[in-house]
Amino acid sequence: MPKAFHNSMADAGGAIVIAGARGYIGSALARHLAARGRALRLVSRSREEPIIAKGPAPVEYVQADLRNVDNWRRLMDGADAIIHLSSRTDLRAAEADPSGDDAINVDPARALATAAQRSGFTPKVVFASTVTIVGTQHGNPVNEHTPDRPCSIYDRHKLACEAIFLEATKAGLLKSCSLRLPNVYGPGASVNLNRGILNIMMRRALNGEPLTLYGKGSYVRDFIYLDDVVEAFAAAVDADVCDGSHYVIATGRGHTLGDAYRLVAEEAFAATGRRAEIVNVPEPADLYPIERRNFIGDSSLFRQRAGWRPTIALQDGIRRFMAAASAAHTMAAGE
């Protein structure tokens, strides 16, 4: 159960709830919004408080099971918006345990919609979804009109959450939108292998380790820097976009994995003087179809409606990651 909210939070009003605040995007978003002076209610399953940059407005930490309707009712009390980032993003774990993944990823969305119905609040909800909902058989660039053809348990569950929030919005229970994210990279908390391959390869390159590239590395990805994603969520909270719609969040620039790895190797050499070897290996036989996708996104609709645009090109983002990682290493070493 969430602990009692602080009086200072109630007095400040207008809190933004971040569910999944200890995660990769959540922790970066919390730091960003705190610095902008937004009152925050940071929620996670862990008892530990997320470490964020403090801001002038109250910041509250809440441990809660988001499958519980009453917990959501308490969390939304006095809140301006809920940013729902909490999920398990492991593709293989979802395939191995579909019912468990449903409980982790979909039950919280059901509970949130039920809580809104019972509470009388009409909260604004911004949900973190994924571009891989469209599957593998589509033209590029992908936009909001591209048909949904999910081909994994993870993607089907993300689509189920979107449907829950859309129906709740149509019923007037809440006001929602879903931001469909592509491959996100940048400094921050570790992410799993299925969703953070570029970060993993950048860390390997900084350590002088080889970069393992499947086949010729010809699959295309639309890599987006973490800061641009954070700005997208902040824009969704402030703009009038929560009408049940989903939005593609992307740069509109596609890069093959091979080209991305070569940029990583170049920037790591510039940062460390060590060359990271790119090793081509046969593609594993157990890759899932969605891992063989080619994707470029078109975020024109969200740009138009929210006034957001991505600003960080891939090479610049990789360079920023290298600089941040080097600074963190120096600080940890006490140099």
Average pLDDT over residues 192-219: 88
Please list, in sequence order, all residues whose beta carbon lies within 8 angstroms of the beta carbon of residue 272, skipping any fewer than 6 positions away: 206, 208, 326
Share of the chain above pLDDT 90, in %: 83
Tens digit of each residue's pLDDT (9 = 90 or more) over 106-133 = 999 999 999 999 998 899 999 999 999 9
Instruction: Please name the CATH architecture into which domain 7-183+224-252+296-311 falls.
Output: 3-Layer(aba) Sandwich (3.40)
Tens digit of each residue's pLDDT (9 = 90 or more) over 61-107 = 999 999 999 999 999 998 999 999 998 888 899 999 999 999 999 99
DSSP symbols for 16-29: EEEETTTSHHHHHH
List Cα–Cα distances, 240 to 53, 78, 125, 163, 223, in angstroms: 28, 19, 12, 20, 26
Alpha carbons 183 and 178: distance in angstroms, whole number: 16
Residue 318 has pLDDT above 50, yes or no: yes
The pLDDT confidence band at residue 53, using thresholds 50, 70 and 90, is low
* H/E segment holding residue 248: strand 246-248
Query: According to the model, what pLDDT value does residue 335 have?
Result: 47
Stretch among 188-197, 198-207, 237-246, 281-290 having the lowest mean pLDDT: 188-197
Query: According to the model, what pLDDT value does residue 327 have?
Result: 74
Nearest to 178, CA basis, from 275, 302, 91: 302
**Residue ranges per domain, the chain?**
7-183+224-252+296-311
> Would the pTM count as exceeding 0.95?
no
152 vs 189, more confident: 152
